[in-house]
Structure 1
Amino acid sequence: MLELSDKYPSIMRAWLGNQLFIIMTDPELIKLISYASMKLKNNTMNDFKVLSSPNTVEKSNLYRFMRPWLGDGLITAPTATWRVHRKLITPTFNMRILESFIEVFARQSEILVKEMEAELNGNEFDVFDYVSRCTLDIICETAMGVSSEVQTKKNSPYLDAIKKIADIAFMRMVKIWLHPDIIFYRTSLATEQKNCLKYLHSNTDNVIREKRTQLNNSLDSKNTESSVNSKLPRKTFLDLLIELSNEEIKLSNKELREEVDTIMAAGHKTSATLDTFVIFMLANFPEIQQKCYDELYRIFGDKVNEETQITRDDIRQMEYLERVIKETLRLFPVAPIIVRNVTNNLDVEKYIIPKGSSVVISIFQLHRRADLWTNPLEFNPDRFLPDEVAKQHPYSYIPFSAGPRNCIGLQYAMISMKVLLATVLRKYILHKDLKVKIQDIQLMTNTVLRPANPIKVKIMERKKIN
């Protein structure tokens, strides 16, 4: 797809079997849109954008291959279901609730650095395995309130099942002969998928039943709003969903499972991959790593190397680290493309995008366009200084998508990543034996962007400041 997009204009047609895809990398084409098939009054062109158009809210048919696993969760749900669930789920991602998870982020990150001690002063090692286990422990505790202890127990059937089911779904997306159910369900992949689904679904169902029992036993007269915002012990996303759903729309256990599985799938894989890319960039660019550490020293002072609890005020001061994360997301967007169905003919400048086709937004190429970014393959976190951001096209940087169907977990991801990365940097110096050029990093995708080869770094202990 990248080779084709480099060869042809920023809006082009491509076919996968009998499905027409319209691929865009131009921010103006992504932004500006008018409707050929609808008469809209009192609106201007700028009121409409491809990603927020009511005609492109529906996810592509390719996402149907994830539905056996995620059902009608936010990622895969049809528009009518998505609107109801999104409205219901949004309050569980408010900042007060997210900040209540900081203790979990910090505690699991401390376990991570202790587990990584085995690699101290040794050779370069694959960092993704360590980070992936940590992010799974974090998401299990914050989403479901269960302790998976994957970091310390090592063996994780849940982690293995998630990887297998995601690989199978992506394989069906790109191999058109596996699209028809009549073919797929006669393959060994279908058997493997069935086994993974049985394990994953039963695991979540068991947790939901236990949570419902616990919450039913502790019901009081408080309304939903006071329940969410009260100073009771920290509640998980599942706790909050059950409580909120009791107010207006009661979610069934199946619907709860689908939303929890979606949070688990999206939250774990994207965070683990992005954390790993950031660690790689910090090791690859020691001068930038030093700036991050200098910022942490300004925040924590002489206690920078001690296991002092990270607070929400500390996180808010990690401005340079946040720019590093954003620049990593520019070069390595974990969701490299967005695909939406077109439910009515759309006029985009001189083009008509026909009903029934799919719009593909190539975020990966959008973020690397030389006409939008100076020296696009240079790693420069200062691109995200406020003055520089003001100069950017508003649709030149959309790592978490845009419009109403954007990623609901943006702030959750940013807070958890800051805590994990700060914890690692306070303990270790990250190092690469040989510096790697951005353009030489080989990439691939299987629902998220990832390195084609393991990301390996070396760690050395930071000397404590007297």
Structure 2
Amino acid sequence: MAVVLLLLKTVGVLGFISLLIFYLKKIRLYRAAAKFPGPPALPFIGNAHVFVGSTEDILNKIMELLDTYPSPLRFWLGSRLFFGVCEAEQLKIVFTSPKTIEKEDLYKFARPWLGTGLFTAPASKWRVHRKLILPTFNPRILESFVEVFAQQSEIMVRQMKVEIDGDEFDVFNYISLCTLDIICETAMGVTMKAQTEGDPTYVESAKRTFEIFYTRMFKVWLHPDIIFNNTRLGKDQRECIDYLHGLTNDVIKKKKLELTFDSPIIEDTKPRKAFLDLLMELSNEGKKFTDEELREEVDTMMIAGNDTTASVNSFVMLMLANFPEVQEKCYQELCTIYGANINTDTVITHEDLHRMEYLERTIKETLRLFPVGPVLVRYVSEDLDIGGHVLPRGSSVVIGILKMHRSEKYWKEPLKFDPDRFLPEEVAKRHAYCFVPFSAGPRNCIGVRYAMMAMKTLLATVLRHYILKKDRTVRIEDIKLKADVMLKPVEPISVKIERRKH
């Protein structure tokens, strides 16, 4: 009995010492956090308990915190300190400082899928790979993709014919298969035929994986691999990732065989080169990318080019259906460009895209209200002064893009849909960092121009053929949102279509 008591005392003392050491390591952060406003935190779990629930609940709670406390505010996830920031000048510092170039450690939960591609890479690897990859997004290469954007968009329009004069239908189902066909051809150089053969496996697997990743980020009890891997979420993630990796690996193997047996002359006659072709050329020249790194970068490009553009296109189509006057202005702009050929199969060219100024403003206004990444997170590697507030080394910054995009401080009547906010003279009046739908600074989205070109092509194709309608107007404030890393509607986006009169 005495031995048992001694053992219990020893365990208690060791536990106390461990807690003391843990506290002393964090004391600098505790002292810094005390200077900032924020919700009361519980021992050990911090504020993690408030993020219990669905991805809709999590996003709503983040927005509630940003609404309740001034920027910057502080909260804890377990023992990790976070600062919520939603002021444009503060964001400018965070986005441009070398002290916040690292992604937050929570993004490691995406690495089983994306490895250390550009989205999740540590700064040291990101700098090297971004410099290597950037030339593959030059204007000449992007222009060569417009033909693919147009061809696949025309296929989507034909697939949608069954919905003409029918009830409202889920547009994302059509758009996501279209953008998947586009990204497979432009990123990997393969024809997926997802639209015509109707296989949604990739889209569903990617959607589920993002959902799991975002859920895990905010639930600290799922952070340890030993716990997560033994949950249903862990099993679902493994099954989805096995499929996603299998697809990319198969394509890389086939591409390598083509490079082995094709002569240089045949290679040079290809009308366009995909993202993967260009990366493999870099690898052949200087052994820059391993097979694993190729897969990581292509997987990153695949999801960035498919899921993001599909979501934004869906929101834009909802806005066009919701605001007929905006849709009519977009259509009249297309009439100016195409004249008598407006309702024909005249192929959209990259020169046409430059003239779609009002459509681009409509896309930007949609991105303001429904930004791709509603919340971003950066790690603070050194003490950072963001203007009267010093964020301590070892903390992280939660960047509230959705909150800032809908703030009355920067936007008059913020919930009003008005594409003319993005007229050059209006843009000049605002802070440069109050509109950042694709992040900003050196670690911004590398594919912004690709995305805008692809979206304009798809939307212009739809508008040339169909009138988009809603049974009843939906108020923007009534559109429920969730975040599976990227912003999504809680309810599917549905519209009706009528054929344009020739």
TM-score, length-scaled by structure 1: 0.92
1:163 to 190, 200, 207: 207
Q: Is 1:447–2:485 an aligned residue pair? A: yes
- Give the letter aligned to residue 7 of structure 1: T
Q: Is 1:17–2:78 an aligned residue pair? A: yes
Q: Which residue number in structure 2 is paired with residue 352 of structure 1?
A: 390
Query: d(CA) in 2 for partners of 1:276 and 1:152?
Result: 20
The offset of 1:110, in angstroms, is: 0.6
Q: Is 1:102–2:135 an aligned residue pair? A: no
- Give the letter aligned to residue 381 of structure 1: P
Mean alpha-carbon deviation: is it higher for 103-112 or for 192-201? Answer: 192-201
Q: Which runs of 4+ in 1 moved over 6 A?
A: none
Q: Which residue number in structure 1 is paired with residue 321 of structure 2?
A: 283
- Give the letter aligned to residue 483 of structure 2: T
Q: Any residues of structure 2 matched to 1:300-315 within 5 Å, and which?
A: 300-315=338-353
Per-residue displacement from partner, 1:102-134 (whole Å, max 9, x unpaired)? 111111101111111111001111111111111
- Give the letter aligned to residue 143 of structure 2: E
Q: Which has the larger radius of gyration?
A: 2
Aligned residue for 2:431, secondary structure, equals: coil
Q: Which residue number in structure 1 is paired with residue 401 of structure 2?
A: 363
Per-residue displacement from partner, 1:362-382 (whole Å, max 9, x unpaired)? 110111110111111111101
Note if contact 2:467-2:500 (Cα within 8 Å) is conserved in structure 1: yes
Aligned residue for 1:430, secondary structure, equals: strand
- Give the letter aligned to residue 258 of structure 1: E
Question: Higher helix share goes to which structure?
Answer: 2
Mean alpha-carbon deviation: is it higher for 319-328 or for 202-211? Answer: 202-211
Aligned residue for 1:123, secondary structure, equals: coil
- Give the letter aligned to residue 347 of structure 1: D
Aligned residue for 1:14, secondary structure, equals: strand
Q: Which residue number in structure 2 is paired with residue 415 of structure 1?
A: 453
Query: d(CA) in 2 for partners of 1:160 and 1:91?
Result: 31
1:424 to 449, 453, 462: 462
Aligned residue for 1:339, secondary structure, equals: strand
- Give the letter aligned to residue 72 of structure 2: I
Q: Is 1:195–2:239 an aligned residue pair? A: yes
Q: Which residue number in structure 2 is paired with residue 86 of structure 1?
A: 130
The offset of 1:249, in angstroms, is: 4.6
Mean alpha-carbon deviation: is it higher for 160-169 or for 92-101? Answer: 160-169
Q: Which residue number in structure 2 is paired with residue 462 of structure 1?
A: 500
The offset of 1:360, in angstroms, is: 1.2
Q: Which residue number in structure 2 is paired with residue 40 of structure 1?
A: none
1:339 to 349, 370, 377: 377
Q: Is 1:267–2:305 an aligned residue pair? A: yes
Query: d(CA) in 1 for partners of 2:386 and 2:457?
Result: 42
1:116 to 160, 177, 185: 160
Q: Which residue number in structure 2 is paired with residue 142 of structure 1?
A: 186
Per-residue displacement from partner, 1:7-46 (whole Å, max 9, x unpaired)? 1102110112221111111111222xxxxxxxxxxxxxxx
Aligned residue for 1:65, secondary structure, equals: helix
Per-residue displacement from partner, 1:327-380 (whole Å, max 9, x unpaired)? 100010011011000111112222110111111111101111101111111111
Query: d(CA) in 2 for partners of 1:110 and 1:133?
Result: 13
Q: Which residue number in structure 1 is paired with residue 20 of structure 2?
A: none
Note if contact 2:118-2:126 (Cα within 8 Å) is conserved in structure 1: yes
Q: Any residues of structure 2 matched to 1:236-255 within 5 Å, and which?
A: 236-255=274-293
- Give the letter aligned to residue 286 of structure 1: P
The offset of 1:185, in angstroms, is: 1.4
Q: Which residue number in structure 2 is paired with residue 375 of structure 1?
A: 413
Note if contact 1:88-1:245 (Cα within 8 Å) is conserved in structure 2: no
% identical aligned pairs: 57
Q: Which residue number in structure 1 is paired with residue 94 of structure 2?
A: 50
TM-score, length-scaled by structure 2: 0.86
Query: d(CA) in 2 for partners of 1:428 and 1:218?
Result: 43
Query: d(CA) in 2 for partners of 1:428 and 1:221?
Result: 43
2:172 to 123, 128, 136: 128
Note if contact 1:121-1:460 (Cα within 8 Å) is conserved in structure 2: yes
2:89 to 17, 23, 28: 28
Q: Is 1:393–2:393 an aligned residue pair? A: no
Query: d(CA) in 1 for partners of 2:260 and 2:96?
Result: 39
Query: d(CA) in 1 for partners of 2:71 and 2:482?
Result: 21
Aligned residue for 2:467, secondary structure, equals: strand
Query: d(CA) in 1 for partners of 2:298 and 2:156?
Result: 24
Note if contact 2:283-2:290 (Cα within 8 Å) is conserved in structure 1: no
The offset of 1:220, in angstroms, is: 4.0
Unaligned stretches of 5+ in structure 2? 1-61
Query: d(CA) in 2 for partners of 1:87 and 1:395?
Result: 24
Unaligned stretches of 5+ in structure 1? 32-48
Note if contact 1:426-1:462 (Cα within 8 Å) is conserved in structure 2: yes
Aligned residue for 2:397, secondary structure, equals: strand
Aligned residue for 1:239, secondary structure, equals: helix
The offset of 1:147, in angstroms, is: 1.4
- Give the letter aligned to residue 168 of structure 2: E
Q: Which residue number in structure 2 is paired with residue 39 of structure 1?
A: none
The offset of 1:53, in angstroms, is: 1.1
Query: d(CA) in 2 for partners of 1:302 and 1:194?
Result: 53
Q: Which residue number in structure 2 is paired with residue 38 of structure 1?
A: none
- Give the letter aligned to residue 407 of structure 2: R
Note if contact 2:282-2:289 (Cα within 8 Å) is conserved in structure 1: no
